[in-house]
Amino acid sequence: MTTESAMEKAGNRALGPDRAGRIWIAANLATTGIVLLLMMLFGVLMRMAQGGWITLYPDLFYQFLTVHGTGMVGIAALGGISVMWYFAARHLRLHSAVLGANFVLFLIGVVMILGGVFVGQFSGAWTFLYPLPAVSGGAWGVQGAFWFLFGLLVVGVGLLVVCLEIGRGLIATHGGIARALGWPYLFGMAGAVAPPPVVVATAMSVLVTTLALIGGAIILVLSIVNLLVPSFVLDPLFAKNVIYFFGHTIINATIYMAVTAVYALLPDYTGRPWKTSRPFLAAWMGSTLMVLVIFPHHLLMDFAMPTWTMVFAQVLSYTNSFPVLIVTGLGALAIVHRSGIRWDMASGLLFLSMFGWMAGVVPAVIDATIVINSVMHNTLWVPGHFHFYLLLGLLPMLMGFMYWITRARDSDRPDLPDRSDRWIAAIYAASGLGFVTMFLYSGAQSVPRRWAEHLAEWMAWDRTASVFALLVLGAATWFVLRFLMRLPRFLAAD
Ligand code: HEM
Ligand SMILES: [Cu+2]
């Protein structure tokens, strides 16, 4: 019996999202799938342009880069939050209208962002580093930058509202965020109970995302004021700190959100509970605190930063990353080992995500090492590490969840054991690995990141990467089409 069904017996479990919640989750995930493919296409085009196979004028390349980065981070957040909402709603009573409001704000924000980039020509990347939006050297005007920044703000407000609603639910059901994180139990307080893993991960994600979004909103508003009133200036180093506090935290949180699928579903598949142990709670407590303060690893080359912040960033990057990975990775292995687990697309993709996340953190931590960063900074090593855990960690979590919610129910014709699905999953994993390896290898050869034009000597790697990227895009298209075609099952269930 799983922990969750035990809780159900005890009667203290909401039964998952209500009808409206399911509709909004379906809308979010359908959007996630389609936007994902579109953004991948932009990525393929950029990589092919770097390899000299197609011509993208640099202004268009940087617009693609901006849209790809912003779009991918935004869609990772939308997908992650939908997965987390689904599982959180098994434990909390949530107001589904909030998820709908976020969906609408998201779409409005995306239209503004696309207008800012493709009409207003803004191409200052998703990190909108101050004072770039206002100082473009004629590449774009105030309008383009304004709609981009404002659109980002609208998307952020939508996500913030969702976080506040889940936070409210956690407080109402568990009596506070600290309790939902299991801190009283961790410290052995009398009468404290251990919250289920899904609740712990949700509490952590909601807390750090809320702080990140508030930071993001502040710096976006300040940047907009600077744009409209140029005499209002910021300290660029302060601005960079806030931007990376926001950017680092939000993209990391998307994985912490989506990992709820692993915690909830592997026990269902194996019939073994995922118990909340003290090491588990301690690891999540460490990450909750540390993920918020390690962002200076993005500023290791900023000589004006105080040295101690850099030393902290390096040390805490190491100590932040590994504990949660270890409790999750080992936990998953322990649950799966000799369990007679039924391997299907959902469980297979979730298991792949464990590999992608764990392996991808290694090049990340290497880059957070000061002596290495002084060589690797601004090379393709950087997109190499984050594509690793996003493409092979986060995305398989989202895709696995998409397969799972659209699986055959009792009333459906059962899914045939589909060999084409498995082949496609193998192609996705292998070509994804090839694609990120080309980024990492190029980075190790000091090929700079964010360059529209590459030297002839680098192009062989760019071209190899382009072939892998096309295969990834093809496999992802298959996953998304499968999901969209089976979506009515999810809406009809229950
Ligand atoms: C087929 C899949 C993908 C391809 C072909 C692709 C390609 C690219 C390329 C060529 C770049 C620019 C690298 C450079 O600096 O020269 C890039 C940057 C980036 N990609 Fe991807 N990507 C893919 C998937 C993803 C996914 C799944 C995510 C996140 C969920 C993602 C997030 C990003 C981000 C955040 C950047 C940084 C943008 C910047 O430097 O401002 N990508 N990608
Ligand atoms: Cu970071």
Instruction: Report pLDDT digits (tens) over 430-469.
Output: 999 999 999 999 999 999 999 999 999 999 999 999 999 9
**pLDDT at 2 exceeding the cut of 50:** no
The closest residue, in CA terms, to atom 33 on ligand 1 is 69
Which of 54, 65, 68 has the most ligand 1 atoms within 8 A of CB, as the residue to mutate? 68
Check residue 10 and give its pLDDT.
Answer: 41
Q: Which residue is closest in CA terms to ligand 1's atom 27?
A: 391
Least confident of 156-165, 171-180, 368-377, 447-456: 368-377
- The residue whose CA has the least distance to atom 37 of ligand 1 is 69
Structure tokens at 340: 């007679």
Q: How confident is the model at residue 343 (pLDDT cuts 50, 70, 90)?
A: confident
pLDDT, tens digit (0-9, with 9 covering 90-100), for 171-200: 999 999 999 999 999 999 888 999 999 999
Closest ligand by atom to 389 CA: 1
Say whether pLDDT at 417 is over 70: no
How far, in Å, is the centroid of ligand 2 from the Cα of 294? 7
Average pLDDT over residues 43-51: 97
- The CA angle 64-70-73, to the nearest 5 degrees, is 130
400 versus 366: the higher-pLDDT residue is 400
Q: Among residues 259, 280, 291, which one has the least CA distance to residue 186? A: 280
Assign residue 348 the CATH number of its domain. Answer: 1.20.210.10
Among residues of the chain, what percentage have pLDDT more than 70? 96
Rounded to the nearest angstrom, the distance between the alpha carbon of 331 and the centre of ligand 1 is: 30
Query: Which residue among 45, 47, 50, 72 has the greatest number of ligand 1 atoms within 8 angstroms of its CB, and so is best to mutate?
Result: 72
Ligand nearest, relative to CA of residue 247:
2
Task: Give me ligand 1 centre to Cα 473, in Å.
Answer: 12
- H/E/C letters for each residue in 391-446? HHHHHHHHHHHHHHHCCCCCCCCCCCCCHHHHHHHHHHHHHHHHHHHHHHHHHHCC
Confidence of residue 5 (pLDDT cuts 50, 70, 90): very low
Structure tokens at 93: 């009573």
pLDDT score, position 319? 87
Which of the ligands is closest to the CA of residue 435? 1
Structure confidence at residue 374 (pLDDT): 87
At residue 384 the predicted structure's pLDDT band, cuts being 50, 70 and 90, is very high
**CA 254–ligand 1 middle distance (angstroms):** 16
The pLDDT, as a whole number, for residue 411 is 65
Residue 238 CB partners (closer than 8 Å, separation 6+)? none
| Smallest-distance ligand from the CA of 127 | 1
pLDDT for 14 equals 58
pLDDT, tens digit, 9 for 90 and up, residues 10-30:
444 457 899 999 999 999 999
Looking at the DSSP assignment, which residues form a beta bridge with residue 379? 448
Minimum CA distance residue for ligand 1 atom 10: 47
User: In whole numbers, what is the pLDDT of the chain averaged over residues?
Assistant: 92
Percent share of the chain, pLDDT over 90 = 75
Residue in the block written with tokens 């498995």:
422
Ligand 1 geometric centre to CA of 258 (Å): 19
Residue 1 scores a pLDDT above 80: no
pLDDT for residue 323: 86
299 pLDDT tier (thresholds 50, 70, 90): confident
Give the closest residue (by CA) to ligand 1 atom 21: 43
How many domains is the chain partitioned into structurally?
A: 1
- Give the span between the Cα atoms of 466 and 113, in whole angstroms: 27
pLDDT tens for each residue of 74-123: 999 999 999 999 999 999 999 999 999 999 999 999 999 999 999 999 99
The whole-angstrom separation of Cα 264 and Cα 3 is 9
| Spatial separation of the C-alpha atoms in residues 80 and 396, rounded to whole Å | 11
Ligand 2 centroid vs 59 CA: distance in angstroms?
Answer: 27
Mean pLDDT of all residues in 323-334: 87
Residues in the chain, total: 494
Q: If you average pLDDT over residues 387-402, what whole number do you get?
A: 97
Query: Where does ligand 1 bind, in terms of residues with CB under 6 Å?
Result: 40, 43-44, 46-47, 65, 68-69, 72-73, 76, 125-127, 383, 387, 390-391, 394-395, 449-451, 469, 472-473
Protein residue whose Cα sits closest to atom 2 of ligand 1: 40
Nearest ligand (C-alpha, residue 368): 2
Test site for ligand 1: of 357, 367, 387, 427, most ligand atoms within 8 A of the Cβ: 387
Q: Is the pLDDT of residue 4 over 50?
A: no
Domain that holds residue 431: 3-407+416-492
Distance 43 CA to ligand 1 centre (A): 6
Residue pair 294/320 in contact (Cβ under 8 Å)? The answer is yes
pLDDT tens-place string over residues 215-228: 999 999 999 999 99
How many Å lie between the centroid of ligand 1 and the Cα of residue 184? 41
Q: How far is the CA of 108 from the centre of ligand 2 (A)?
A: 28
pLDDT of 420 strictly over 90: no
pLDDT at res. 141:
93
Going by C-beta distance under 8 Å and a sequence separation of 6 or more, which residues neighbour residue 151? 108, 109, 110, 111, 112, 113, 114, 115, 116
The closest alpha carbon to 68, from 37, 92, 90, belongs to: 37
pLDDT surpassing 50 at residue 207: yes
**Largest Cα span, the chain:** 67
